[in-house]
Copies of this chain bind each other. A is one copy, B any other.
Amino acid sequence: MKISRGFASDNNAGVHPEILKAIAEVNQGHVIAYGDDPYTAQAIDKFKEHFGNDIDVYFVFNGTAANVLGITALTRSFNSIICSDLAHLHVDECGAPEKYTGCKLLTVPSPDGKLTVGGIQGHLHGFDFEHHAQPKVVSITQATEMGTVYRPEEIREIADLVHSYNMYLHMDGARLSNAAVSLSCGFRDITVDCGVDVLSFGGTKNGMMFGEAIVFFNKNLTGNFKYIRKQGMQLGSKMRFISAQFNALLSNDLWRRNAKHSNDMAKYLEEKVKHIPKIKITQPVEANAVFAILPAESIPELQKQFFFYVWDETTSEVRWMTSFDTTKEDIDRFAQTLENILGERS
């Protein structure tokens, strides 16, 4: 099989060699299954190094589960969850949140993927009225599905609003590392220090093979979580192999190196294509995604050589994602191909 890399998704990348090495290293003898093993204890300690000691951490297999089960801990079925109309939670989970939590999702139009206090407030009514699903969670994505990044003060403002209504702030951090790198800050600065209550911490998109973490900053919420995870079909038996990955990711700045490289490549891609006349970059490039509108007829030709997704058929907007293993050469070739295609057409 020919080795190639495209711009479709950071999920299309493989596993970082340091992660694979960490997996191999824990493959020794027997340890207790289901998380009561020393590697998992180490991984939890790693999370505490980054997020502070006052957390509870649970590992699950994937991001869908991290979001859905984290929110399960915050809600009863008569609650509602407020999120962006572009939130992965709403558009890309085949209705898993509704099925599993029983809750109603309420969306706010947010062209750049970011919720605002004003947008949220439109749904903050009907409290104490039994005919109305009771708002309980606001979920934001950091970095957003549009490759944008919330500033700490934006998160804090949302958290303050949310808490003033006795609600919880959930963060889908599938790409939290990209956001932290983008803001040149640590994880705490954009999570617990801004009032986030529960975080889905992403591993897979940043070089892991599988595995996401649910980080609770409010330990009152976790009394039942071990049952929620098990009943939620997300308790891995050979847990050490998730834990080893997190140990590696959170050591030696691997999370940062991977995310920084990925973000840098997105910036580099933007630089290489933004001057091309027929291309319009549509979102600020703050993480590892570049959104662009290009001539509709050029897309299939470009896709013949590089795999990526059309974001919006009606406007010919496409999404190009970079990942930890994207190279400058990949981008140079991509940009050159794009210029050739567009040049031929002019």
User: Given the complex, which residues of B lie within 8 Å of A227, measured CB to CB?
Assistant: 76, 78, 94, 130, 134
- Asked if B30 and A307 make an inter-chain contact with CB atoms under 8 angstroms apart, the answer reads yes
**Can you list 7 A-B pairs with a CB-CB distance of less than 8 A?**
A11-B238, A61-B234, A78-B94, A79-B95, A99-B231, A232-B233, A233-B233
Q: For A226, what are the chain B residues with a Cβ–Cβ distance below 8 Å? A: 130
Which one of A21-29, A154-162, A290-298 is at the B interface? A21-29
Question: Cβ of A131 and Cβ of B4 under 8 Å apart?
Answer: no
A99 to chain B, nearest CB (A): 4
The CA of A20 and the CA of B24, in the complex, are separated in Å by 7
Number of A residues, CB within 8 Å of B: 80
8 Å CB contact of A78 from B99, B103, B307: B99
Instruction: Decide yes or no whether A315 CB sits under 8 A from chain B.
Output: no
A251 within 8 A of partner (CB): no
Chain B interface: which of A31-39, A183-191, A264-272? A31-39
Pick the contact of A1 from B28, B34, B92, B209 — CB < 8 Å?
B28
A93 at the interface (CB under 8 A from B): yes
**Which residues of the partner chain B approach A8 to less than 8 Å between Cβ atoms?**
30, 32-33
A61-B236, A95-B78, A238-B14 as given contacts; A230 in contact with B131, CB under 8 Å = yes
A96's partner among B6, B69, B231 (CB-CB below 8 A) is B231
For residue A328, CB closer than 8 A to chain B, the reply is no
Q: Does A257 contact B (CB under 8 A)?
A: no
Query: How far apart sit A62 and B237, CA to CA, in the bound complex (Å)?
Result: 8
Q: Specify which of A68, A80, A90, A96 lies most central, judged by the most chain B CB atoms within 10 Å of its CB.
A: A96
Taking CB atoms, residues of chain B closer than 8 Å to A91 are 131-132
Residue with the highest number of chain B CB atoms closer than 10 Å, among A9, A130, A226: A130
The answer to whether B65 and A233 touch across the interface, beta carbons within 8 angstroms, is yes
Interface residues in A119-144 (C-beta closer than 8 Å to B): 130-134
Nearest CB of chain B from residue A64's CB, rounded to whole Å: 4
Whether A77 and B29, one on each chain, are in contact in the complex, defined by CB atoms closer than 8 angstroms, is no
Please tell me if the beta carbons of A238 and B33 are within 8 angstroms of each other in the complex: no
Per-residue CB contact flags for chain A residues 207-242 toward chain B (1 = under 8 Å, else 0) read 001100000000000001011111111111110110
Q: Which residues of B contact A262 (CB under 8 A)?
A: none
Which residue on chain B has the smallest CB distance to residue A28? B3
Tell me the dominant secondary structure on chain A's binding face: loop
Q: Shortest distance in angstroms between A316's beta carbon and chain B's nearest beta carbon?
A: 16
Given contacts A20-B24, A29-B4, A78-B227, contact A130 B95 (CB under 8 A): no
CB–CB B231/A234 < 8 A: no
Task: Name A29's contact: one of B3, B133, B238 (CB within 8 Å).
Answer: B3
Is residue A163 contacting chain B, with contact meaning CB distance below 8 A?
no
CB contacts (< 8 Å) of A94 on chain B: these are 78, 130-134, 227, 230-231
For residue A225, which residue of chain B has the nearest CB?
B130
List 14 extra interface pairs beyond A78-B231, A95-B103, CB under 8 A: A5-B29, A8-B32, A12-B32, A20-B27, A30-B323, A34-B130, A77-B99, A78-B95, A93-B131, A94-B132, A94-B231, A99-B231, A130-B227, A130-B229
In Å, the complex CA distance between A91 and B237 comes to 16
- Whether a CB of chain B sits under 8 angstroms from the CB of A284 is no
Q: Which of A15, A34, A91, A133 has the most CB of B within 10 A?
A: A133
